[in-house]
Structure 1
Amino acid sequence: MTQNLPRKQTNDVDPDGKSGADIEIETDTGPPKKKSGGPSDPMRRCIATATNQPQSAMIRFVVSPDGMVIPDVAATLPGRGAWVTATSEALDLAVSKKAFSRAFKKSVQTDPTLTQQTHQLLFRRCLDLLGFAKRAGDLILGFDQVREEIRMDEPSCLIEALDGASDGRKKILSLAKAIFGDDEPSEQPIIVGCFTSEELGMALGRERVIHAIVKEGRSARNWIIEVERLGGFRPLRPSDWMSLAV
């Protein structure tokens, strides 16, 4: 009988006790709270790159009671938190530089799959938020319905299943390109194609979902923030999709 051996963990502290950083790395004192009249997207300092970024473009990490660094993608867990730019490169750098121990000012451990864990949590969070958008009436599903919405309104986000048929996807992307292609990039709808039809279907209570639009509004703003963070860990769509849309 094969035994499951415990995973090897990385002890995230410098052996000589030196930080190796030119600036002091700070943590927050608890999960962020919305303050009336305060900034909606405050700046945070990344413990890996020492750059200031909007909070919405970062991921918070906390330390569990047993000394493990865990991702807090919703920024709601109690205790001190350290912030890392929402990319796999920045997170890998934070681990390799032992930045978590410096930030928390104590020896902490990082699981070797921390980047993968964070990626999966962001992935799941994006799908969960799509479910919330559907229940709020902010999601449009179906080929004909999506095409009509593109013609009638300016969608915030267009979702195409990664494994959907290429002819249907090409028709929708070509329509979006014809209508919005001359707009400034910031004014064009975000096109996401990193979820399979089955993954979308499970999130939305259907067998499969191929085409969807998140309508302009709060649901779209929240989802775009999360999907852009996910984009730091995986491509949001195949690189050739728009070049094939004519």
Structure 2
Amino acid sequence: MTDTTRLPEQLTAPAPGTVALVTGANSGIGLEVARQLVERGVTVWMGARDAEKGREAAARLGDGARSLRIDVTEPTSIEAAAEQVGDLDILVNNAGVNPGAEDITGTSLEQLRTAYETNVFGLVAVTQAFLPALRRSAHPRIVNVSSGTGSLVWNSGPNPQFDWERVKGGGLAYRSSKTAVNAVTLLTAQALGEGFKVNALAPGLRATNLVPGMSVGGDPAEAATGAVRLALLPDDGPTGALWSWDGTRAPW
């Protein structure tokens, strides 16, 4: 791949028998990532905290979708999930929470703990638990769903991604946790080397249940397309970068 600023438009066909795990897959972006991977012939474990919701989501997608009870904040849940899944080629760390939009003057330590427990610590714990399986894969891929609001460059001034004047300084817990996700992505890519492709996705504002009652935002399926691109990167594809949902390189 010669262009380091844009992902290839053409999706790589997954090898027969490719297996993926998507956390937080019972709704929103995670559900759409699972759907698109299943449509491409990937067997997808659909992770969900609520086992019943996970089963219902997997049933809607049909053959190729499997439900998996996993709470990324519970070590025993993660361990049990890793034993159940076995082989794995693609890990999409999608599970996330947004505990509030307050700035430094109104953010509680509990909100910070909640954001980091799921968005950062949970992501790291899941990645570590599934590394042995990913190391056995011929084409291991890790996709961390981050946020454009976690980009320090975009947070530093006006940008094309969000209304900086309106939100500057706000969302301390969520946005700083996504900045941490970006750092974890880069350092993970460096540690695992070129055999792995480890990237982060800035999905854009989407109409999901990340923020209760929020109805604004674009189609989650559009953001999922960006995650699927990263999940199916060719062996000469990029690693250790943040990408916008449309396939363009985003700044840290």
Same fold by TM-score greater than 0.5: no
Q: TM-score, normalised by structure 2?
A: 0.29
TM-score (norm 1): 0.30
Which one has the largest radius of gyration? 1
